[in-house]
Chain A
Amino acid sequence: MNLPMVKPSAESAVNVRDLHSPRGVRFWLVEDYAVPLVALEFAFRGGASQDPAGKAGAATLVAGLLDEGAGDLDDRAFQQALDDKAIELLFQCERDHIGGRMRALTRHLDRAGELLRLSLLAPRLDAEPFERVREQLNAQLRREANDPAAMASRAWTARVFAGHPYGRPRRGDQTTLAAVERDDLKVLARRLIARDALSVAVVGAIDAARAAWLIDLVFADLPSSGALTAIAEAPFAGLGGVDALDLDVPQSTIRFGRPAPSRCDPDYLACLVLAQVLGGAATLTSRLFREVREKRGLAYSVSAGVTTLDHASYLYGGAATKNERAAESLEVVRAEILDLAHGGLAEDELEKGKRYLIGSYPLRFDTSTKIAGQLTQMQLEGREPSWLVERNAGIAAVTMADARRAAERLFGDGALSVVMVGRPGQG
């Protein structure tokens, strides 16, 4: 099929302003008055990869405790203050950053700002909520202990990044959580929550002056710098092998992956297109969807994509197939990867992959919360607002030669690091 060349719009998906508050905090702003609310998202570079040795999960505990009491409000008073004004405040901790999002009705924005300020500047990390939040985390981990998908992803990460902070469980395990003490959390919070590690975006019914006021209220009094441990680039281990974890369930859960070029690499965007062609999860048309699911009925969910962290980048995918046919699923996946590695990419596949990635980009910006999240992520990745246009232009510019070169790098000899959970082969 001949398709005309893709022409991305030169218009940005959203109208972003890159601003500084009076006290010098950089923030990105999107003004939108359709709904009387303000969404704010922020992140401090650092995160779970900064957990002290033997205390994996400590940063996740910090995130879990920031809304459990601050300043002169104890945990109950703080939660009640949020609820009284229907203020949503959620903290989370990822591998490379710790952060959160706030959403408030414009009429309650003053109070929301005060509470967020307190939570970052004066978190109490009290003993009682500390024990409770740790038990909640333990309960989650126990719940996932024999969940095939959770087991597979944990085992895959541990196998591939053995010896690196990325190889530790992001939320820790019951042993490492037990080793964490309150003082660890205080030290860690002080190391992580600082202005020089901050990215922040504000979206909603708010003008630049008021947004600047809000940003200064919340962030300007934070320590100017934290103390992050340098993290090495993570080597990718275990290529070419399969780890099998026994679990008495009728279906085998498969996770597979291999190294990928990083987000700074000139071939990065071409790799995104290739991953879309191979296993794009948001469409019902990828090669894996067609071959594994539609033609053979081997799996309900099958996909693959490129994951990019600050110190590692990899292709990662999965499927779940009844035990008897699990090996067949994995073989089909391998065959598609090898075909793409050996120049099997067709011209119209490339064009369609590009068209999907370009055309669907605006769908990531259709709620205030999603916009704030996207803009914070862009800042964490070191992008400028111009990336909103450059990204699609870069994808449009990927040629067949680029894609072939990138395919050789992304898929190489097709070797995968694989984890299977279940009883593959058994009927």
Chain B
Amino acid sequence: MTSEACPTSFDAAAAPSAVAAAARVAEFRLANGLDVVVIPDHRAPVVTHMVWYRNGSADDPPGKSGIAHFLEHLMFKGTEAHPQGEFSLRVAEIGGQENAFTGNDYTAFFQRVAKERLGEMMAFEADRMTGLTLADDVVAPERDVVLEERRMHCDADPAAQLSEAVQATLFVHHPYGAPIIGWAHEIERLGREDALAYYARFYTPENAILVVAGDVAPEEARRLAETHYGKIRPRGAPPERRRPKEPAPVARRLVVVNDEKVEQPSWQRSYLAPSHHTAAPGESEALETLAHFLGGGQTSLLYRKLVLEEKKAVAAGAYYMSAAFDDSRFGLYVVPAPGAPLAELDAAVDRVLDAFLAEGVAPDELERAKTRLIAEAIYAQDSQFALARWYGASLATGQTIRDVREWPERIEAVTGEATLAAARKWLDRRHAVTGFLLPPEGQTA
């Protein structure tokens, strides 16, 4: 049970949004509105069963930050038909693994089990879509668990605190500015009624996506889905996701966390950028390519310039969060070499970007970035769990199966001009927040 809330490292953010182009993915919709995706993978007799709800922390009501994530935890507390613990005990007893996670735009639950158990998992998961019961005596301890989760991932880690502050500063109006796990003072006040109201609003077949990956034929998955999920009563239209739109940003911002626990300073910058869902055609793919060219590994521009040539840094990279329903972000990070002041590094990054904006991208460098992105789509096919997750995240943020399937071709079509144009348009410091992680003022790391 995790939130993707607190970026304690850049690894998660740097993960490719590359989604594989599996050929035989099946898709259909049940009469009650539940969308179903089946990704066959017959290499091992196991299946991954996931249900995604198209709501996440960005749908938390004002003043109730963290409710999406808190409810995700409470979904393990049992139903009338299967009281507390029964589902998890069954999963463990059959040698399965399970968990759940909450993002800005989705909440998802999954089990990984032997293929014979798929129908049984569907029965449990379908039951939990409508049958949740919450006794007061399970709500309070679970709220404490979430507060411990927040302490562990955020409150004890100044790097996570900086990332939270950058995010909160970048999104001045849109709820992406609040941490997925919620602010501590609001988590403390979340209660049973908040959870049940949120549950009633979002946990409906029309708002859900069932993803099944593994050793199952699409027809069989369909039959099982009809049997177990098909009997859930439709609730009408799915809830609409209408979040406040960000105003056009005009102010470049710097946020600084000074903490005595910091012995290794770091630098980061987030630019407001369109997501795959909000971008003009081709723009998201150009940003994806740009992130790879600028900061994907040791041959990337930032690493070459700042680490290898200028030796001002020991690490540097870039990432782009394409899987979001609303406008998202493009990020850069640098770990300074000993003694390199962050202000100097900040200027050095801008010099590298300015030179690139003037010169453009060399054809062989563009090709290298594209080759790696497309290969990642093939590598992704090696993991049914990763595939299920990427399809789920893409669909839950407004993409289609076709978008996912044709992604490698659209990457292939990205030109140097498009990459440069995306950089010129979106890597504008007036759209950005820069974050410094430093020891207390007056001390040097």
Contact = CB atoms under 8 A, between A and B. Distances in A.
Do A and B truly interact?
yes
A88 B376 CA distance: 10
B34 to A, nearest CB: 25
Interface string A23-57: 00000000010111101000000000000000000
A105 B377 CA distance: 11
A381 to B, nearest CB: 22
B346 to A, nearest CB: 18
Contacts of B260: 248
B93 A88 contact: no
A303 interface: no
B46 A251 contact: no
A251 B155 contact: yes
B152 A360 contact: no
Interface string B98-122: 1100000000000010100000000
Given A79-B299, A143-B264, A145-B263, A365 B44 contact: yes
B438 to A, nearest CB: 13
A139 B151 contact: no
Interface in B335-358: 335, 337-338
Interface residues of A, number: 71
Contacts of B444: none
A251 B95 contact: no
Contacts of A247: 261
A283 interface: yes
A183 interface: no
Contact of B298 (A14, A79, A355, A367): A79
A369 B140 CA distance: 41
A422 B338 CA distance: 28
Contact of A363 (B46, B144, B151, B152): B46
Given A105-B375, A139-B335, A366-B385, A285 B92 contact: yes
B144 A297 contact: yes
A320 B335 CA distance: 28
B385 A85 contact: no
A284 B337 contact: no
Interface residues of B, number: 70
Interface in A243-283: 247-251, 253, 280, 282-283
Interface string B359-376: 000000000100110111
A105 to B, nearest CB: 6
B74 to A, nearest CB: 12
B254 interface: no
Contact of A79 (B142, B145, B297): B297
A294 B114 contact: no
Contacts of A285: 85, 88-89, 92
A356 interface: yes
B159 interface: yes
A79 B114 CA distance: 40
Given A284-B92, A355-B95, A362-B44, A83 B114 contact: no
B161 to A, nearest CB: 11
B96 interface: yes
Contacts of A284: 1, 76, 88, 91-92, 98-99
B142 A358 contact: no
B92 A299 contact: no
Contacts of B311: 132
Contacts of B297: 79, 83
Contacts of A363: 46, 95, 97, 112
A329 B123 CA distance: 35
Given A37-B379, A142-B263, A361 B95 contact: yes
B256 interface: no
Contacts of B142: 294, 297
A86 B372 contact: yes
B155 A356 contact: no
Interface string B127-151: 0000000000000111111111101
Classify the interface of chain A: helix, strand, loop or mixed.
mixed
A175 interface: no
A396 to B, nearest CB: 12
Contact of A357 (B95, B143, B298): B95
Interface in A319-347: 320-322
Given A34-B41, A295-B141, A297-B140, A135 B159 contact: no
Contacts of B98: 283-284
A355 B146 contact: no
Nearest to A133: B314
A300 interface: yes
A368 B44 contact: no
B52 to A, nearest CB: 20
Interface in B273-310: 297-299, 304, 307-308
A16 to B, nearest CB: 13
Interface centre among B76, B147, B148 (most CB of A within 10 A): B148
B44 A321 contact: no
A288 interface: no
B383 A366 contact: yes
Contacts of A282: 97
B156 A359 contact: no
A10 to B, nearest CB: 14
Contacts of A37: 378-379, 382
Given A83-B297, A297-B141, A251 B314 contact: no
A20 interface: no
B4 interface: no
A173 B47 CA distance: 43
B94 interface: yes
Interface string A189-220: 00000000000000000000000000000000
B124 to A, nearest CB: 13
6 contacts: A36-B378, A294-B141, A300-B149, A320-B148, A360-B96, A363-B97
Given A13-B44, A296-B144, 12 more contacts: A76-B298, A86-B376, A138-B338, A143-B159, A143-B266, A147-B261, A249-B151, A251-B148, A283-B88, A297-B145, A357-B95, A366-B46
Interface of A: 3, 13-14, 32, 34-37, 39, 75-76, 79-80, 83-86, 88, 103, 105, 132, 135-136, 138-139, 142-143, 145-148, 247-251, 253, 280, 282-285, 290, 293-301, 320-322, 352, 355-363, 365-369, 422
Q: Which 6 A-B pairs have the closest CB atoms?
A: A359-B95, A297-B144, A86-B375, A297-B141, A142-B264, A300-B149
